Structure 1
């Protein structure tokens, strides 16, 4: 843009298109453009100085994970209704299967709600954003609310499938579990023999505690079912899934390092104290797994006793 501006300005000056006032105005605008160019260059230099750093990458992933979890807390079923495990579908339910292989990136629940109201159906989704699907895998079930559907089955299937976006990779926006998985992968790579950086893994564990703490916050007034999406049923996320995504890989890859085991154990104790009603059972399960792995991988009895002593401090 600045190049084109300068080129046009030079041509205009050469042709004598500007008078005295025009030259003054052109000079003032040129000063402003120069200031914008200098500001942009400085900002870009600052961006390049941080680009690729582990800390900067972790910051971005943590922010994305917290944003996704906060959004899911407000809309636990993406605006739809709860699809409980004890809910049984009628034999007349129509199963819609995937025509693609990849990850579910987005589900337009509001569009599904409009379709469900239009053709008088209920939609029961078997997938969430982040689910890996393959051709022929059941995605959802369609249940007619009347004797007959307001449109033919093929048309309803095409409309419903159009509301699901399936791609080759997972995304952060609608997939809280993906952010936790990426944080865990960063810690696992830091713990690999090639990198051998337990400090980064310990930093990630602290960030994981901060991210998971968001899940323990009470649902705000916005956490409800959208009035137009009551006929759309989705399954919710579970605490066990969130803990498995984050703690399982770190606990496995850092089982031979006492400092990592201690930090994971302290993180689990902290989460159990933050909200026992939500986190206690999952924390107890992962503490038991950590102690079992440590008994196998650690060689010094003193280190094992240290972990067992810390584990006993968890509030029963």
Structure 2
């Protein structure tokens, strides 16, 4: 579903996942540099610049044009190989995180932009677009481009060598999850207010497609509700899977219903598409991390160390997320839009159910899971503590069925939060 409800930031994040976006921006910048040189050539500033031979400029531009096309082709092949390795070591849900690799996109964009700049500058030079004053500007820009290409290439080679490794994939998932968790911590209801009690009877806003809620533009919802003296209760948070004709929101009015009720404007504030995205979905990061751990625990991989690393990452993220804010720190600028809080139980289901199932027969993973849940069970947050105890009991029950050695089972029991309690 598309509409005015899509925020600029959401669109920028989607563009960042496209490999053509940065090369296009950098290529336009290279065109601007050539035309800027022509402008300097026709202005009084050109008299202050030193003279430089045209053949020198042509030689440098020819070297750039010949080498950049080869390097750009090599970069594309290396990026595809690294992306494939990262997707194979992680899960399909991690692929978009890898595509956001800023270093690879910076390198690819720089090489293509340098090639386009050198070709356009050389053609402009041959067609007499520049006079003597413009030669120095083009030469200086070409030297700057050449130096930037060398620095970016060296930095990129060091980065691309680690891009396909599993460790950096986990780190990327952690960073993306931390960003959305911090946003949720400061705006626990996306800037709206907490939904309390059952939603009053009103007009239902239904979806007309199948997919996940990717983004909710609460600011536009607030504007619509203010204009119509209404209140809106969000029924489907980002990350929720919707079927056709399922309720996304409910609208009710303080007094009379407007004569022309345009609920479609409310619907356009929701972005529903095939896949989940990180932007407003705190649970997705834990699902991705859990999938990485489950793949590591498969018989084909048999890597319990990765599963333990994932558990450590999850514990760190959850501990940071549930730290209490100072009174009044939560931002709630949209008082006409009500949203439920993130379901901690659902988040724990996505994070720990798969690891508890697939790691039940591996004692070191089962122990690490119980230790993680023990820390969370001691949390000051009641929802977190209850969810941790529930998953600890489930994981322990699975371990009792999967582990045959009594010493292994006792180690798992000893690590559980309920060990020794009546």
Structure-2-length-normalised TM-score: 0.68
Distance 2:127 2:235 in 1: 69
Residue in structure 2 matching 1:299, options 388, 394, 404: 404
Tell me the distance in 1 between the aligned counterparts of 2:417 and 2:244: 48
2:252 counterpart (143, 152, 177): 143
Please point out which of 163, 172, 180 is paired with 1:51. 163
The farther-off stretch of 236-245 and 248-257 is 236-245
- Give the aligned partner of residue 189 of structure 1: 295
Aligned-partner Cα distance in 2 for 1:166–1:217: 31
Taking the TM superposition and a 5 Å limit, the aligned residue runs for 1:145-294 are 145-149=254-258, 151-153=259-261, 155=262, 157-220=263-326, 221-226=328-333, 229-275=334-380, 277=382, 279-294=384-399
Aligned-residue CA RMSD (Å): 2.2
The CA deviation at 1:119 is 1.1
Match of 1:87 in 2: 198
CA distance in 2, matches of 1:273, 1:262: 17
Higher mean C-alpha displacement, 173-182 vs 216-225: 216-225
**CA–CA distance in 2 between the matches of 1:11 and 1:99?**
52
**1:130–1:178 contact (8 Å) kept in structure 2:** yes
In the aligned structure 2, how far is the partner of 1:293 from the partner of 1:278? 23
1:42 aligns with 2:154: yes
How far apart in 2 are the matches of 1:88 and 1:207? Answer: 36
CA, structure 1 residues 24+225, in 2 after alignment: closer, same or farther (shift >3 Å)?
Answer: closer
Task: Please give the per-residue CA displacement for 1:49-81, whole angstroms capped at 9, x wherever unaligned.
Answer: 122221111111111111111111111111112
Is residue 12–residue 18 contact of structure 1 (8 Å, CA) maintained in 2? no
Matched, 1:133 2:245: no
Q: CA deviation at 1:26?
A: 4.1
**Number of positions where the alignment pairs a residue of Structure 1 with one of Structure 2:** 307
Looking at structure 2, the residues matched to 262 and 286 of structure 1 have their Cα atoms a distance apart, in angstroms, of 13
Q: Which runs of 5+ in 1 are unaligned?
A: none
User: Which segment is superposed worse, 93-102 or 252-261?
Assistant: 93-102
> Which residue number in structure 1 is paired with residue 59 of structure 2?
none
| CA–CA separation in structure 2 for the residues paired with 1:315 and 1:37 | 63
Question: What is the SS of the residue equivalent to 2:244?
Answer: coil
The structure showing larger relative contact order (alpha-carbon pairs under 8 Å, at least 6 residues apart) is 1
Distance 1:106 1:276 in 2: 27
Q: Do 2:214 and 2:238's aligned partners in 1 also have CA atoms closer than 8 Å? A: yes
Q: Structure 1 stretch 93-102 or stretch 1-10: which is displaced more?
A: 1-10
Counterpart secondary structure, 1:174:
coil
Contact 1:75/1:222 (<8 A) preserved: no
Q: Deviations over 1:195-238 (max 9, x none)?
A: 11111111111001011112221124441321xx2221111113
Q: Which residue of 2 aligns with 1:104?
A: 213
Contact 2:322 2:381 in 1 (8 A): no
State the distance in 2 between where 1:163 and 1:57 align: 32
Q: Report how far residue 281 of structure 1 moved.
A: 2.0
Measured in 1, the distance between the counterparts of 2:264 and 2:370 equals 49
Contact 2:232 2:252 in 1 (8 A): yes
Shift of 1:27: 3.5
Q: Is the 8 A contact 2:373 2:417 kept in 1?
A: no
TM-score between both structures, scaled by the size of structure 1? 0.89
The question of whether the paired residues in 2 share the 8 Å contact of 1:216 and 1:278 is answered with: no
SS in 2 for 1:256: coil
Unaligned runs of 5+ in 2: 1-112
What displacement does 1:111 show?
A: 0.5
1:18–1:307 Cα change, 3 Å: same
Residues 23 and 238 from structure 1, CA distance in 2 versus in 1: closer, same or farther, beyond 3 angstroms?
closer
Closer, same or farther: CA 164–13 of 1 in aligned 2, 3 Å: closer
1:30 correspondence with 2:142: yes
* CA shift digits 1:161-190 (9 cap, x unpaired): 010000110001100000111000110111
> Residue 120 of structure 1 is aligned with which of 229, 239, 247?
229
